Chain A
Amino acid sequence: MELQRLAFSFFNADVASRYWPQIVEGFWLTTQLGAAVIVAGIVLGLALALLRAFHFKPANFLIVFFADALRALPPLVVIILLFFALPFVGISMSALMATWLSLSLVLAAFAEEIFWAGILAVPKGQTEAARSTGMTRAQTLMNVVLPQALRLTIPPLTNRMISITKGTALGSVIAVHEIIYHASSGASEAGNPTPLTLGALAYLVLFVPVVIFGRWVETRFAWKR
């Protein structure tokens, strides 16, 4: 009896059949949003780290300020600032845009720090040797330092990408129609938590392979001590 009630609440086939198309819709939006965040965040983070490698003081000050502030601020606070505070000065954007921009900036901040740590970890002798062969600073950076640095950054970067793409769920707070938005509005509409179960399953389908991939990356690219 108890088990039957549990099944009726959490695995209600009737409710599930009504709500799963919405969950699937949310699933695709979450996937696309996550991919867009990764691309923008990594590109911006790498660009900032490369810029920082030129040791131009005012630029570096700004980069460090940006990276520190966006690593200190909770992502949900960034989203709410962009979505609710900026319209007061006439800058308004859609909820989807605000979520994408916020998470991309947060990922860029973390990525910049990780790339920068990787660049610093390449021994100075590498740069000196490359420069002495007549390469310019930009050539040295792109052809000698960066390829070695990238390898070191892969495990921490993968972990960071996973944790920040999970942040797409935060978009539901400002009504981005991703998985959990459909799941929780469906649950309150149906008066039954089955849509939440579906939503949870959708996230597992999406992220369990990613987490396992992350584990593989961590051992594959581990530091050789």
Chain B
Amino acid sequence: MEQIVQLFFNMAILERVGPFLLRGLGMTLLLSLVIVPMGVISGAIVAMLYSLRRRWLNWLLIAYVDFFRAFPPLVLLLFIYGGLPFLGVDLPLFGTVALAFLLNTSSYYGEIFRAGIESIPRGQTEAARSTGLSGWQTMLYVTLPQATRNVLPDLISNTLEVIKLTTLASVVGFSELLNNARNAQALTYNATPIVVAALAYLALLWPLVRLVSRLEHKSIAVR
């Protein structure tokens, strides 16, 4: 028992690496705060373009969405990370990571918003148009708000996935929480940093998991 505490919950080590882990947590939060809003906005744009029902455009959008859903995000990240320098593009690490995750998440958010927009009856659009709203006004003030409400559980669930996704950035040495925890573990030869990082992810994401569960059960009950 004593030994387990020494190896997994070592206070002396935690005191030493604590600030380093906190800095990592800060980067994890910053990365999430950049990717989630950008992903939501670009996803909504993808879905709104889809609702225009232009044949070739929809074909392109579906190809875009399916392409990035088929790609494991880690593969996308490593491809961009390893490939961009050969294109002569020199992006800072934060930009590389954000670009890879944005391409991935915007396609997921796009699919969710598309389902939401399709769940709104045509009568809503027709009524809005008959009051004199333009096509875009109808989309922004009538269709999209209702669509968002209908797919809220999926949106939150995807946001949870996006935050979990940020751990992949550790693979290319971006100093977020998991990266710092692994470095600290290698330096101290002790599992405490990783265990603490795992607990931090739990504390951060558990409320979201509970919220998703509640919303999903509610939406099934309504059916």
Q: Which residues of A contact B (CB under 8 A)?
A: 6, 9-10, 68-69, 71-77, 80-81, 84-85, 88-89, 113, 117, 120-121, 162-163, 166-170, 172-173, 179-180, 183-184, 187-188, 192-193, 196-197, 199-200, 203-204, 207-208, 210-212, 215, 223, 225
Question: Does A207 lie within 8 Å of B70, measured CB to CB?
Answer: yes
Identify the stretch in B49-57, B130-138, B162-170 within 8 Å (CB) of chain A at 4 or more residues: B162-170
With contact pairs A77-B197, A80-B194 given, residues A6 and B87 touching in the complex (Cβ less than 8 Å): yes
A sample of 27 inter-chain contacts (CB < 8 A) reads A9-B83, A9-B87, A69-B202, A69-B206, A71-B209, A74-B164, A74-B166, A76-B168, A81-B194, A85-B195, A121-B220, A166-B73, A170-B74, A172-B74, A180-B78, A184-B82, A192-B86, A196-B78, A200-B71, A203-B72, A203-B75, A204-B67, A204-B70, A204-B71, A208-B67, A210-B70, A223-B223
Q: Which of B161, B198, B217 contacts A81 (CB 8 A)?
A: B198
Q: Which of A168, A193, A203 contacts B82 (CB 8 A)?
A: A193
B182 within 8 A of A: yes
Question: Does B178 lie within 8 Å of A120, measured CB to CB?
Answer: no
Q: Which of A167, A172, A192, A225 contacts B223 (CB 8 A)?
A: A225
Q: Which of A69, A169, A208, A223 contacts B74 (CB 8 A)?
A: A169
With contact pairs A81-B195, A88-B8, A88-B191 given, residues A187 and B72 touching in the complex (Cβ less than 8 Å): no
Question: Does B70 lie within 8 Å of A121, measured CB to CB?
Answer: no
Interface size on B, as a range, is 35 or more
B152 within 8 A of A: no
In chain A, what residue has the closest Cβ to B69?
Answer: A211
Question: Does A72 lie within 8 Å of B195, measured CB to CB?
Answer: no
Q: Which of B71, B165, B178 contacts A80 (CB 8 A)?
A: B178
B14 within 8 A of A: no
For the complex, what is the distance from the CA of A172 to the CA of B223, rounded to whole Å? 42
Minimum CB–CB distance for B169 against chain A, Å: 10
B4 within 8 A of A: yes
How would you classify the secondary structure of chain B's contact residues: helix, strand, loop or mixed?
A: helix
With contact pairs A88-B8, A212-B66 given, residues A200 and B75 touching in the complex (Cβ less than 8 Å): yes
In chain B, what residue has the closest Cβ to A209?
Answer: B70
Q: Please indicate the chain B residues that have their CB under 8 angstroms from the CB of A212 in the complex.
A: 66
For the complex, what is the distance from the CA of A85 to the CA of B184, rounded to whole Å? 13
With contact pairs A81-B198, A85-B8 given, residues A113 and B72 touching in the complex (Cβ less than 8 Å): no
Question: Does B66 lie within 8 Å of A173, measured CB to CB?
Answer: no
For the complex, what is the distance from the CA of A196 to the CA of B84, rounded to whole Å? 12
Q: Please indicate the chain A residues that have their CB under 8 angstroms from the CB of B8 in the complex.
A: 85, 88-89
Question: Does A180 lie within 8 Å of B74, measured CB to CB?
Answer: yes
Q: Please indicate the chain A residues that have their CB under 8 angstroms from the CB of B217 in the complex.
A: 117, 120
Q: Which of A74, A162, A169, A210 contacts B167 (CB 8 A)?
A: A74
